[in-house]
Amino acid sequence: MARTWTMQFLQYVTAILLIVLLSFHLAERIPWITGISYHESLKSERVADAYSSYGWVLLLLAYAALFHGLNGFRGMLHEWKPRHGRLWDLVFIILFLVFAGIATYTVVGLPPLP
């Protein structure tokens, strides 16, 4: 796996990405920004429009959150049992790929809402 400083740098990058992307995502629900009520913004037509308009942002948000969370957990496991380092790295890679696949299928592969 990558060196410790590389993984820590990626942790900082994903933290910044999370701040930016999550701010954008939440701003889509604020009534005085969008001009519609919060409950109106959650209707299926609006959600389907969001997926078709900026689904790539949602997918990038999911990847960044997934990497950031799993990498933090991986770091804790490395501190807890350092001799199992390769195992923790393998668990990180497997979990990231499985959940990234689920996120991709959710954003890209599901049929549009009725």
Q: What is the pLDDT of residues 29-87, one digit of tens each?
A: 888 888 888 888 888 888 878 777 888 898 999 999 999 999 999 999 989 998 998 99
Q: Which comes out higher in pLDDT, residue 98 or 51?
A: 98
Contact criterion met (CB below 8 Å) for 113 and 43: no
Q: How many angstroms from the chain centroid is the CA of residue 46?
A: 21
Half-sphere exposure of 79 (CA within 13 A, CB side): 5
pLDDT higher than threshold 60 for residue 1 = no
Rounded to whole angstroms, the Cα distance separating 14 from 46 reads: 27
For range 99-103, the mean pLDDT: 95
Residue identified by tokens 């910044």 is 16
pLDDT at 53: 81
